[in-house]
A and B are shown apart, each in its own frame.
Chain A
Amino acid sequence: MIDFADPTLSPQAFGGLLHTATVSVLLAFGLVLNVPLNTSQGSPASQKLLPFQPEETSDSVLQDSSPQSDLHASPPNTPKPALTDGTPVHLKFARAVVSSQVIAGEKVPLEVVDPVLVGNLVAISPRAFAQATVTVAQAKRSMGRGGNLELKIESVRLADGELVPLRAVKDVKGGDNQPALLTSLGTAGMMYWAASPLVFLFYVKGKSATIPAGTEITAYIAGEFPLDPSKFHTADASPQEKNAPK
């Protein structure tokens, strides 16, 4: 507690303390928010917190030299990064889906297996949430006939929280509904294929169609989605860059 009546605290000393404290506050916030401060212009009270402008940091007396400061900086004429149409996304089923235990219209959760990178940005994080909808569900039938299960792959959550649509095939040119992909999964003799650009069809003979938890499928980004670099983390150099769209 400062005693203003204390004769030992001279006005000059008090002013100096106040000035130092104010400078400390601005210095601390400047460090935390990565905002360059120009202390050469007038009193601290008249200074404004400037928005982050990488090109203008050369004018600043205080420059943040940490590696974080230029993570999201991009040179002036660089095109904005975008998640391109047809980018593959490796997904796995978060839980088992059994045709006798689901009803059409229900949502099925999936998880992203590998991160999806756009340049150096992690557009989709590993374990990110993705979703499919059950479009056909039929339990096993009489006389030993198997069940049916069709899923429409819906969307995946980007690292900035946005949801973007997915589809079942890489390329939709031509628009025909012929199976574009036929994959046999070792477990339970199950097969699945893209019955249309949107729908995965699963088939298991002789019993209710079951997709075991952890079953991996590949879906594709449907559309072009520009990314705001300030909302995404960057990846360290890693072999996972192979997933980046070309």
Chain B
Amino acid sequence: MKFVQTMCIALLIVQTAAQFACAQESTATSPQTSSAPAADEKQRSARETRKRLEQLACGPEGVHLAHHTEKNSQPLPEQPPDKGLIYVIRNGSMLGAAIQARFAMDGKWVGVNRVSNYFYLEASPGPHYFCTDANGRGLLSLVIEKGATYYLQQKLTMGGTDLDLIDAEKGKEYVAKYHRSTFEEKHKN
């Protein structure tokens, strides 16, 4: 009788311990088998993404910038080591020459170009959102890295306005050839 009692107790203990061990193992292995969490997220449509990017990138309506072109050659800025340097260039195409091309970063209008103009600005490392506005809006998002230089081109075409990331070689060529823009916010009375 004692033997049976002992065996029952032992079996009970072994069963409990085995369940405990199984539970420990399943907890430990769960990170390996879990699939990517973002994979289940609903993807935005292109339209929703464009709307979201416009909100992040473009400045408010009703802001106007008075533009001036520096005809004299201007010294170029030194690359800041802890920030990214961004040149915004508008090429020499005469298409839409009468239209100013505004440029906004992270929801604020920060500059404007006319034909064959450029200006530059600095940006902290991390994601930034850019918008150009002329006869339509061009959008672009970039992760800026510190110590890097970026060349963005405002391009007015028959089909609208684009904002392109162009390679450094071409960008330097344009900057050397074009004139720098200066601007100030224009207040309408």
A residues near B (Cβ < 8 Å) are 13, 16-17, 20-21, 24-25, 27-29, 31-33, 94-96, 98, 100-105, 107-111, 125, 127-131, 133-139, 141-143, 145, 148, 152, 157, 159, 161, 208
Contact = CB atoms under 8 A, between A and B. Distances in A.
Contacts of A208: 46
Interface in B33-78: 33-39, 43-46, 49-50, 52-53, 56
A95 B9 CA distance: 52
Interface stretch (B86-94, B113-121, B125-133, B174-182): B125-133
Contacts of B141: 103-105, 134, 136-138
Given A94-B36, A100-B50, A143 B31 contact: no
Interface residues of B, number: 49
Contacts of A135: 142-143
A64 to B, nearest CB: 13
B99 interface: no
A103 B6 contact: no
Interface in B139-172: 139-143, 157-165
Nearest to B39: A94
Contact of A142 (B18, B36, B53, B162): B162
Contact of B128 (A13, A31, A104): A104
Nearest to A98: B46
B138 A101 contact: no
B26 interface: no
Nearest to A9: B2
B6 A24 contact: yes
B189 interface: no
Given A32-B21, A98-B43, A142-B162, 4 more contacts: A105-B141, A109-B37, A111-B35, A136-B141
Contacts of A136: 140-143, 165
Interface in B14-40: 14, 17-18, 20-21, 31-39
B97 interface: no
B13 A24 contact: yes
28 contacts: A20-B6, A24-B10, A27-B10, A94-B35, A98-B46, A101-B44, A101-B45, A101-B49, A103-B53, A104-B127, A104-B141, A104-B143, A109-B37, A109-B39, A111-B35, A129-B34, A129-B37, A130-B36, A133-B143, A139-B50, A139-B139, A142-B157, A142-B162, A143-B159, A152-B143, A157-B31, A157-B32, A208-B46
